Amino acid sequence: MSTPNINAATLRTSCSNCNLRELCLPLGLSLKEIEQLEELVSTRKRIKRGEALYRAGDKFEALYAIRLGFLKSAVMSSDGREQVTSFHMSGDIVGLDGLAGMVYSSDLIALEDTEVCLLPYQKLLEVNQSTQAMSLHFQRLLSMEIVRQNGVMLLLGSMHAEERLAAFILNLSQRFEQRGYSRSEFVLRMTRAEIGSYLGLKLETVSRVLSRFSHDNLIIVNQKHVQILDFEGLRAIVSGQAYQHGHGARAEGAASGQTIPILNARQDLDALLTDEH
């Protein structure tokens, strides 16, 4: 029995039909421009949980759009300890750390089975030259990475443990909501030790604060499953305000159902901490 020919077009990632298009592509592209991108994004790659998409020191050749899955960026300290620098989920563009020296500066590890769309850098440059919207979008990606790093510095430099963890949970909530998932219930793909590494906290501190949040009826934690009960209470913690449980509005039960930004007197942490690109 002869093997049927495989049409290359059937293997192509169709950006126009991808449900993550609004997250990783600029708005307002023409049909011709989208077709150019579909020619560019012609390869997908799968990474099993625990495997690396790339390692620090690998030659920089491409950016990657996460189609499915969850990953972490990490660097190794001089004494061999891992420092988590970011978490990435579907719709994010990763690999920007390779632009500076044309080698990747961090390890990118899959926290669950993951699939990415390959964006060859040289071809991406050609598209940017011919498509103004893509060029501006690429500049925005670089700017967003700077803003995110500023947010991490603010988080680590001026917040105590409860504020850091509350901001982290609320940020994850908004990111899941942007992808069409529940903002009040989600699964943590990272371990508590990885959360602690990212937030500059010890494992014991992360576990203690999560238990405190659960005791105060702000969240319910069942292993890696998290359910947010009181958005207002978490936002009050982030803002550094005293919060009397039960006196604030329960955001999930509000009639409007709208996401309330994470605001405080120091900065708009939602804008600063987001990894969205």
Question: Of 70 and 132, which is predicted with more confidence?
Answer: 70
Question: In which band, very low, low, confident or very high, does the pLDDT at 29 lie, cut at 50, 70 and 90?
Answer: low
pLDDT per position as a tens digit, 184-203: 999 999 999 999 999 999 99
Q: What domains are there in the chain, each with its CATH number?
A: 9-130 (2.60.120.10), 156-273 (1.10.10.10)
| C-alpha distance from residue 132 to each of 11, 125, 177, 186 (Å) | 27, 11, 29, 37
Which residues pair with residue 110 across a beta bridge? 71
pLDDT of residue 129: 75
Question: Of 135 and 20, which is predicted with more confidence?
Answer: 135
3-state secondary structure of 192: helix
DSSP 113-163: -EEEEEEEHHHHHHHHHH-HHHHHHHHHHHHHHHHHHHHHHHHHHH--HHH
Residue 231 confidence (pLDDT) above 80: yes
pLDDT per position as a tens digit, 247-270: 443 333 333 333 333 333 333 344
Residue 22 amino acid letter: E
Average pLDDT, the chain: 77
DSSP 67-127: EE-EEEEEEE-TTS-EEEEEEEETT-EE-GGGTTTSB--SEEEESS-EEEEEEEHHHHHHH
| C-alpha distance from residue 219 to each of 174, 196, 230, 238 (Å) | 15, 18, 7, 15
Percent residues over pLDDT 90 in the chain: 45
pLDDT of residue 222: 93
Q: Rg (Cα) of the chain, in Å, rounded? A: 20
Listed in sequence order, the residues at least 6 apart from 5 whose beta carbon sits closer than 8 Å to its beta carbon are none
pTM of the model: 0.74
pLDDT of residue 162: 94
Percent residues over pLDDT 70 in the chain: 65
What whole-number distance in Å separates Cα of residue 220 and Cα of residue 22?
31
Question: In which band, very low, low, confident or very high, does the pLDDT at 275 lie, cut at 50, 70 and 90?
Answer: very low
Which helix (DSSP H) or strand (DSSP E) does residue 35 occupy? helix 31-40
